Every structure is written in structure tokens, then in C-alpha cells.
Amino acid sequence: MRAQAWETISRLVRVASCLAWLRIIPLAAAPLPRPYTVENYEVSIQADLVKQRLSGEVKIRFHSQVETAISALELDAGPLEIASVVEGQAPQWFERKGSTLVVILTNPLRPDEHRTITVRYQAGPAPGLKFFPDQIYTSVTSDWMACDERPGERATLHLTIAAPQDAKVAGSGQLTATRASEGQNITEWQLDSAAGPSWFGFAVGRFAENTSEAEGVKLRVLGAGTELFEPTAAAMRFLSERSGKHYPGQTYTQVFVNGDATRSMAAGLTLLPERSAQGLGKQPDALWLVTSELAHQWYGLGIASQDWSDLWLSEGVSAYLADAFLGQRLGRESYAREIEHSRQIYNLLRSQGKDRPLSYTNWTTRQDAEGEILAHKGACFLDLVHEMAGDSVFWEELRSYTSEHWGQAAASEDFQKAFSAIGGGNPRTGKKPAALKNSAKTLDNLFSLWVYGIPGGTAKKK
């Protein structure tokens, strides 16, 4: 009895110590690095359209990144209702702290160990988990599964979805199995290329379905007609050529859903508002939306941001590539109109006191980082870089950046480094850009002012 009592007291002390340490984190200017990394998520969810509920279980395989034992894991869990956390058959102590789930490991994690815990939970309507009578879809991963959602983290995914038998399903990764069971449609999705958990997602609904093929990629459209295939295929060819990388997957699905789902992307999956389906791909604004969302599969998924401070490398680059595609497809005047549109929005934001550097280290969450400033200021900045570099050199350096960081996380310094050679000509070809008017120092000044917010200087972000 004394041994049991002492074990209980010891565990409580360890729990209190871990929680006290974790409470320090929000006081910092940016989140402290988590001392572990996740290798794989194995998720099983059951979607109930009638009750607007999601029942889930996620097995999280992880290992340490530090040289000391780890007694607690911190996971992002949004508003999830956590039922239990177990390792094997052993229950683990856990505590909710806002949107964070803190799991106290009965046996601390040693540096050389690979371990797995299982989190069982329930989820209801949330900002990143939308329910309608005939649809469910996601935009924020931690609102539908427990995970480490911080940028720079990358893991593989196996996702099993149980949905109504008459529903269509789209999930991150490749569809690997489909079966019927007890009146439900069971689909399994596998993402073998490690991706940031913020790129995990799914949609379930009673959608009409159309399919096609482009560049060896299966195109799926749920909830809209076939008129979208040609512009999507054209945008995919453009992005592959400009980036030097093929689309990172075997299937690309566009889902037209209820509500405002603009800018909801996941690996192999884009959610678009149903109201935009009419004439989509024919009007410039609609064509821009299709291309910008698709471009995130390269810049966001193929290359992740190291942290939220550099989210512009996804938002701004994708917006600019959409501008460039419209220029190629509809003419130079269309490109100029898109850049001028971004310039007007950026100037309006500036007049409202909302201007910020593109790389802004005070951002600690995706919600902090998101906003119009990234896309529109980013597009204006890249237009200036393009003009300074000249057309052929600009695209060559973008392909160089993409190739070097493909499948990794990148920061603004990496993007700047790829373009740093243009001031003295391209070292790979020996050619000097025809449109270059100034030196490499001018380009550094451009990055300092627009990206890092250092007026008149050449310093890089620390």
C-alpha cells in the first residue's frame, strides 16, 4: 500500500511539474520547439451527418529529438472531446490546456525509443470542421484529430473514413481501399510522402462526381461539372514547367462545398465554395482562384514553411504564380491587371495601418499569420523581383529554389539565397540578366524592406 501511495504521489508530482513547465510556453514571443517529432498518424474516423458528430481514434508514432528523457507530450487538439489516451493497454494521464492536450507518459520517452500512443475522441462543429445536413469537411487539422500542427513538422498518414453509403469521400493522399460495411462506405487513404499535419484533410458529402486525367494525374471534381478539367489541366502544366517539379501526387480533387470554404487546402485536395462553381475556369477571377489553390500543392505542401513567420512562401508565391498563369493564358494585360489589383489591396491595407513584413517572427499560430497581406504584398514583391531579374533568370532561380528544398521546409533566407546570384549574373549559365538595372545589393535591400521590414538596410532576418 505504501508503495502504491508513493507511486501515486510521485506521478502527481511529475504531472504538476510538467504542466508548470508547459504553462511557461505562451509567455515566450514564439512557441518553444517540441522535444519530439511524429513519424506517422494512423487515423480512423466515423462521420455522422445526422448528429453532426465525428468519432475518432488516432495512433501517433513518435520519437525523441533531445538527449534527455521526455515525461510529457504536448499535442494540438482544438476543441476535441478527449475520451482516453493509452499506450498499448496502459492508460496515460492527460490534461487539457486551452486547445492543447498534454499527455503525461507513464514511462518517460528515452532518446533512442520509438513509441505509439492512441488518442480516442469526439468532435463537433468547429471553425475547422464544418457540418451541413449533407456534408462534412475540414480546414484546420487539430479541430478533427489530435496532432502536432506546428510548421516544419512532417509525417505520413493513413486515414480510414466511415461515411454514409450514399456519400462521396475525398481525403489526403491516395485512395487505397474501398469497402461496404454495416451500411457504411469505408475508404482508406494513404499519404506516403511526409507532409505537415496542417495539410491533412477530408470531405464527405452527397456530391455528384466527375473524373478526368492530366499529366498522369487523376482529376476528380465533386459537386461541379466537367468544365473545370481543361483549365485545371492547363494550370497544372504551367505550374510543373515553372517549378520544375511534377504535381506531388497521383490524384487531385476539387470539392465544391456549402459555406465559405475559400483557401481550404489539403494534400491532394482543395475545397471551393459551391457558389463559385458556375462558370468556374472561364472568368479571370475564377481562373485565378483555381490556379492559386492548385499552386499550394507545390508551395505549401511540396515545400513547407519552417514556421508561421514565413507563410508568405506559400501564400505569396501561389498568388503570384496564379497572376503569371493568367498572363500566359489571357495576355500580358491580364497579368498587369492582377498585379495592379494586388497593389491596390496592399495600399489599402497600408492606409489602415495593417502593413507588416512578409516574414514576421511575432506570428505564433496559423491564424496570426493568415490574411490578405501575405498574398497581395507577396505578389507585389515578386513582381519587383521578376522585373529586376528578367524573365528567364527569374524562372530559373525559382526552379532552383524549388529543386533544392522540395520535400523539406524552407525559410525566407532560403528563397533569398536562390535569387542572390542575379546581381552578378547567373553562375550556372554565365549570363547577365538583360533587365537588371542595379547590383545584388539592390536585391538585398529589396528583401530587407519587403520581407524583413528593415528599411534601407541589407541585414537578413535573424
Q: Set out the domains of the chain in order of their start, with CATH numbers.
A: 39-205 (2.60.40.1730), 209-295 (3.30.2010), 304-450 (1.10.390.10)
Query: Each residue of 293-325: pLDDT tens digit?
Result: 999 999 999 998 888 889 999 999 999 999 999
φ/ψ of 324, rounded to 5, equals -65, -35
Closest CA to 321 of 305, 306, 304, 339: 339
pTM of the model: 0.85
Cα(322)–Cα(255) distance, integer angstroms:
19
C-alpha cell at 28: 515566450
Q: Does residue 196 carry a pLDDT above 60?
A: yes
What residues contact residue 432 under an 8 Å CB cut-off, 6+ apart? Answer: 424, 425, 426
Q: Does residue 81 carry a pLDDT above 50?
A: yes
For residue 426, the model assigns a pLDDT of 38
Q: Does residue 116 carry a pLDDT above 60?
A: yes
DSSP secondary structure, 21-48, as one string: HHTTGGGSSSPPPPSEEEEEEEEEEEEE
Q: How does strand 251-257 pair with strand 269-273? A: parallel
Query: Each residue of 248-301: pLDDT tens digit?
Result: 999 999 999 998 776 578 899 999 888 777 666 568 888 898 999 999 999 999
Q: How many helices (H) and strands (E) does the chain have?
A: 10, 22
C-alpha cell at 459: 541585414
Other Cβ atoms within 10 Å of 372 Cβ, number: 15
